Amino acid sequence: MCTTCGCSGDGATFEGENHAHPHGAHHHHDHAHPHEHEHEHDHPHPHDGAHDNGSLDYGSGPARSHAPGLSQARMVEIERNILSKNDSYAAANRARFAQNGNLALNLLAGPGAGKTTLLVETLKTLAGTIACSVIEGDQQTSNDAERIRATGTPAIQVNTGKGCHLDAHMVGHAAEHLGVSMGGILFIENVGNLVCPAAFDLGEKRRVTLLSVTEGEDKPLKYPDIFEKADMVLLTKTDLLPYLDVDVAALESNVRRIAPAARILHVSTRNGQGMAQWLDWLKDERRALLDGLAAQAQARADMLRAAE
């Protein structure tokens, strides 16, 4: 269940399964899945949202959202319960990925920002040098997974049905089916959505948010959550800038207002702008992860020798 819109991930399906996955086959997780059905009827009229300047602000309360029939306190309670369960799944995923030396990346963006195209070009370049695998998230179809597999990269499609995002349980289950290579990069392409995917930790090492320059410079301010925790922001389709009325400096400034620590790259899969820097970042992140794991292993070995 999404913390805000109420969508459920219980109808998610995985390639190779001909039925809806009931969230019960993922062996290393606790499988209690409470379902909230209470309806509180304390919703006052007129609405609680602020009415300044002719607008209604339903994100001003503690829950930063609105649901008919639910108080702000109840919404906060439900959100905490949902995210707490998801976080336990995410922690298990993160431990597993670390144990296998996998650099797991969560790619987030709205529909059409170019996530899959970027992945296809990235995988073509990395082929034969770094083992990669991909988890594809969409509400329906296996189109994107098929595009990924055409590069020779293992991929599994997760269809979320009415769900608007991937969650950590889906990712853990998909990774088990996929068989991620030791020391490789796992790309998780989330459902195209600028809102709900931001709330769900998948167990990733790094979070990458893509924004097409065609979407306008105000999107980081309109949809701040998707940018807030980004380690990398890729401004895509920059080859179109000569034909657009977009203030790139304002766009970057708005990104930095929300995510001051994030690195920003301009990329185009058509003319290759920024692709070398993107690939270098991936390689550097993978190397840092593997070096850190090697250092931890050495430290443990030193402690064992000292204890003998």
Q: What's the CATH class of domain 87-291?
A: alpha beta
Contact yes or no for 22/173 (Cβ under 8 A): no
Give the type of residue at 298.
Q
pLDDT in tens, 273-292: 999 999 999 999 999 999 99
**Nearest-CA neighbor of 40 among 88, 6, 72?**
72
Which tokens go with 153?
């990269």
Q: What is the pLDDT of residue 69?
A: 72
Q: Phi and psi for 283 in degrees, rounded to 5?
A: -65, -40
Q: Which token pair is 154?
A: 């293992």
Which pLDDT score is estimated for 10? 61
28's CB contacts (< 8 A; 6+ apart) are 92, 96, 172
The per-residue pLDDT for 18 is 47
Least confident of 4-18, 19-33, 48-62: 19-33
> Half-sphere exposure (CA, 13 Å, Cβ side) for 204?
29
Instruction: Give the pLDDT confidence of 12-44 residue by residue, as tens digits.
Output: 887 766 444 444 444 444 433 333 434 444 444
Domain segments of the chain: what residues?
87-291
Read off the pLDDT band of 246 (50, 70, 90).
very high
- Residue pLDDT, tens place only, 110-129: 999 999 999 999 999 999 99
pLDDT-based confidence at residue 70 (cuts at 50, 70, 90): low
